[in-house]
Structure formats: structure tokens, C-alpha cells
Amino acid sequence: MKQPREIERSQTQSNQVDIVFSLEPELFWFQGHFAVQPLLPGVAQLDWVMHYATTLLAPDFHFHSIQNVKFQAPLLPGSIVTLSLNWQEERQILTFSYQRHDGELRHTSSSGKIRLCR
């Protein structure tokens, strides 16, 4: 499977959404990345950001450029993760963050800004 298992989705405003995932060890993205300790590649994280952003928040927009991105901590198989998206249509900027759940705590694993265009 290429997409993570979605546990919950909440969209309190039309320009914001939070999606909670379970990163199943069987995910395609973990295969061969890496043998000793699999981790979710940045390209997969960006793919999911774009998929959910253009499906839920900005359906008529496409990728233009990455303004910045930080990969601070690895996302490992078996993790529960929240992807938070915020779409600023007037600026055509999408901000995102992945937060790994650690009990009641959450730790930012990656974040960034992506410019979209029509």
C-alpha cells in the first residue's frame, strides 16, 4: 500500500485540516529505505502533503516550488502521526507539519512551506 491508514480527519476551517495516520510497517515507502531501520522518506511525506492539499483544500492548484522544508526527526514504521495542513490562498502558500505521537505528547518530525499555482 502506498497511502497510510487514515485514523481520523478534522477540518474545523475550510483552509485547515488535520489528518491522523498509522504508519503501517507494510507501507510501500518503507521497503528498502533502509534495511537496518526503515523510515518514511521525505519524498513520501511531500507526496502525501500534495495529495491531501489538492484533494481537500486547493483542488484547482498544483505544485510550484518548495519555500522551505525541515526534516527534524524520522518517521518510523508503527508510528501514529498527524499531518496538519494550512492553505493561504491569497498568498498561494501551503504550510504543513508532521507530528509524531508519543502518548499524549506530539513531536514535530517535519514541516515546511510549499507554493502552489493554478
Class at the top of the CATH hierarchy for domain 5-117:
alpha beta
Q: Across-strand partners of 115?
A: 65, 93
This prediction has a pTM of 0.94
Per the CB < 8 A criterion, the answer to whether 46 and 62 are in contact is no
Please list the pLDDT of the chain residue by residue as tens digits (118 residues): 678 999 999 998 999 999 999 999 999 999 887 888 999 999 999 999 999 999 999 999 999 999 999 999 999 999 999 999 999 999 999 999 999 999 999 999 999 999 999 9
> What is the sign of the dihedral through the CA atoms of 92, 74, 105 and 108?
negative
Domain regions of the chain by residue span: 5-117
